[in-house]
Structure 1
Amino acid sequence: MKSDLRSDPLRVASVADMPPALADARASKPPLAHLKSALLWLGRVLLLIAVPLFILILASGLAIAIIRIGGDLRLGIDPFLATAARPRLPLSEVAGRAVAVDALRQVLMAGLVVSLAVWAAGGAWRRRLGLTRPDEARAPMRRLWLLLALWPLIHIAWVTTSAAALNMNFGNGVRLSPFLSPRMLALWFAFVVVLAPIAEELLLRGQTFARASAFMGPAGTIVATALLFCLAHVSLDPGAKSALARPLTLLPLALTLGWLRWRTGRLWPCILLHGWSNFCLVAYQIGPGLLR
């Protein structure tokens, strides 16, 4: 005769004892699993910050070393001469070297990003950086042209408003160094409008966007890359307002570039908007001074 749970004391005891044991096991395992997931996520976030920061620092260090050594050799100066024994450089040389360092840093940064993408993705490195057509249909490109037409008004209005709130001079009438030669002026313009947009977008909306997308949703990826973009533009001036001014003025651009990368699935619209934004802002800032 089959016994039920009420007629079998041993069965009742075993069933009574099992749920607490299972409850204890379930109570102990989920926190460990959550902790492991949290640590893994934190590690990915730290890596997300460390990789672009390392690339930026490495490219900057290499650019400074190359320009200094090359410039010293061109002038017949020992590159390894002690600082106290070094001759004073002409102001035109100092200004020119600063522009050359900025330009070379972008070239080196782009090369490092592409090399890292090739190492990480092999033959699929173009897809990883958003340089190929996406598999899924995305937003039509005609909307991009509307954004390009409206963006100068939006960006300049935000920059001037936020700069005025921080008592910073980001308005028009800004003058370039008078010690820059025409060749260095052309290089500076290429750095602002072409080199910087390409290198920065490869780094942030390319490599970093792909890495963030692996464990973040679209909104988190857009915000993370935008914050890194702003962090990379923090001013080194000691004043707190000046340190925060540039990242604040760039925040709408950073968010828009991230949205554009996600919405189109491609990198070139980000490069185009970034370069166009830089061109319009530079024209607004230095245009009146050039016409005087």
Structure 2
Amino acid sequence: MPPAPADARPSMPPLARFGTGLSWLGRVLLLIAIPLAILLLASGLAIAIIRVGGDLRLGIDPFLGSAARPRLPLSEIAGRAVAMDALRQVLMALLVVGLAAWASGAAWRQRLGLARPAEPRAPMRRLWLLLPLWPLIHIAWVTTTAAALHMNFGNGVRLSPFLSPLMLGLWFAFVVILAPVAEELLLRGETFARASAFLGPAGTIVATALLFCLAHVSIDPGAKGALARPLTLLPLALTLGWLRWRTGRLWPCILLHGWSNFCLLAYQLGPGLLR
């Protein structure tokens, strides 16, 4: 059978071709650079949008210098911080979807694990057994790790008194819904697909888990404080990667991530709310 003419062959999306000729080290660097760039871009856009929008709402010139800017009330500062966090997650999700659509065209849902996988995978019925057990596993790990690092966990945690009920609701949605959706799209979606192209299943799970933990490194003057958050998240990160590989779908990762965040919130805030 004669080969199809050049103009009849299916064209590869530009980002699907990009990186195919890179060395293994180059692919690893690209694997790190892409989620970092998305995170920085989404953060910068969120800060700019919330600051400009908030200033215009209050009748403040957003281009005023720091010395000339009026002092904002504490409720406004707290509300802007929550709004920035929430908007950053929305922008991250949109950037990831746009990148996946550019990289894979009409197959972007399958690339991100939002469609049924091409190859049959075992059904994840055990996920429903994992969900009730996960709070015990995760909280036990977090408290043990915090104790080993001489860090307080779950003690003295309080919600900001300067947040309005609307901002409290937005903050709760950010922690339980927006952050799990955006972070899973970025790491167990786009980054997982990109890593799978040159790493085996175990390597892909570990690579995405490490990136997930590194993205949660806190800026802390003490080494123990900086390491505490990534160490507490490591079991969750590995489990989420395993779920993505085992099921071929992203929704189990989003569900477990959101459930884990909710359980930690209940554990940390519950005693204070009941007083």
**Could you tell me which amino acid in structure 2 is paired with residue 97 of structure 1?**
R
The residue aligned with 1:55 is 38
2:69 pairs, out of 79, 86, 103, with 86
Q: How does 1:208-247 map to 2 (within 5 A)?
A: 208-247=191-230
Check if 1:77 corresponds to 2:60.
yes
Unaligned runs of 5+ in 2: 1-19
Q: 1:275 corresponds to which residue?
A: 258
Write 1 or 2 for the structure with the bigger share of helix: 1
- Matches of 2:148 and 2:220, distance apart in 1: 18
Amino acid of the structure 1 residue aligned with 2:191:
T
The amino acid across from 2:85 in the alignment is D
User: Paired residue for 1:176?
Assistant: 159
Kept after mapping to 2: 8 A contact 1:193/1:278: yes
- Quote how far apart the aligned CAs of 1:246 are: 0.3
2:124/2:246 contact within 8 Å kept = no
Q: Deviation string for 1:6-33 (max 9, x for gaps)?
A: xxxxxxxxxxxxxxxxxxxxxxxxxxxx
158-167 vs 40-49, greater mean Cα deviation:
158-167
The residue number in structure 2 matching 1:117 is: 100
- Greater Cα offset, 204-213 or 142-151: 142-151
Does structure 1 retain, via aligned residues, the 8 Å contact 2:50–2:80? Answer: yes
Moved more, 236-245 or 163-172: 163-172
- Native 8 Å contact 2:141 2:232 kept in 1: yes
Moved more, 83-92 or 106-115: 83-92
Q: Is the 8 A contact 1:48 1:212 kept in 2?
A: yes
1:146 corresponds to which of 129, 146, 152 = 129
> 1:72·1:79 contact (CA, 8 Å) conserved in 2?
yes
Residue 129 (1) aligns with residue 112 (2)? yes
* Cα deviation digits, residues 220-265 of structure 1 (max 9, x gap): 0000000000000000122211111100000000000000000000
Return the letter of the residue paired with 2:255: L
Contact 1:173 1:288 in 2 (8 A): no
Q: So what's the TM-score if we normalise by structure 2?
A: 0.91
Q: CA deviation at 1:116?
A: 0.1
- Which protein shows a greater Rg? 1
The aligned amino acid for 1:181 is S
**Runs of 5+ in structure 1 lacking a partner?**
1-36
TM-score w.r.t. the length of structure 1 is: 0.86
Pairing partner for 2:51 from 43, 68, 78 = 68
Write out per-residue CA displacement over residues 111-144 of structure 1, whole angstroms, 9 at most, x where no aligned residue: 0000000000000000000001113332323201
Q: C-alpha separation between the residues in 2 aligned to 1:76 and 1:167?
A: 47
SS in structure 2 opposite 1:78? coil
Give the letter for the 2:79 counterpart. G
Helix, strand or coil for the counterpart of 1:76? coil
Residue 290 of structure 1 deviates from its aligned partner by 1.0
Structure 2 counterpart SS, 1:85: coil
SS of match in other structure, 2:67: helix
Distance 1:286 1:95 in 2: 18
Give 1:173 shift.
4.3
Moved more, 169-178 or 148-157: 169-178
Pairwise CA RMSD? 1.3
State which of 163, 170, 175 in structure 2 corresponds to 1:187.
170
Q: Matches of 1:112 and 1:190 in 2, distance apart? A: 20
User: Which residue pairs with 1:20 in the alignment?
Assistant: none
> Is this contact kept in 2: 1:172–1:288, CA < 8 A?
no
For the 8 Å contact 1:151–1:277, the answer to whether it is kept is yes
Runs of 4+ in 1 over 4 A off after TM superposition: none
Percentage identity across aligned positions? 87
What amino acid is aligned across from residue 53 of structure 2 in structure 1?
G
Match of 2:270 in 1: 287
The corresponding residue for 1:197 is 180
Matched residue, 1:43: 26
Alpha-carbon distance change, 266 to 185 in structure 1, aligned in 2, over 3 angstroms: same
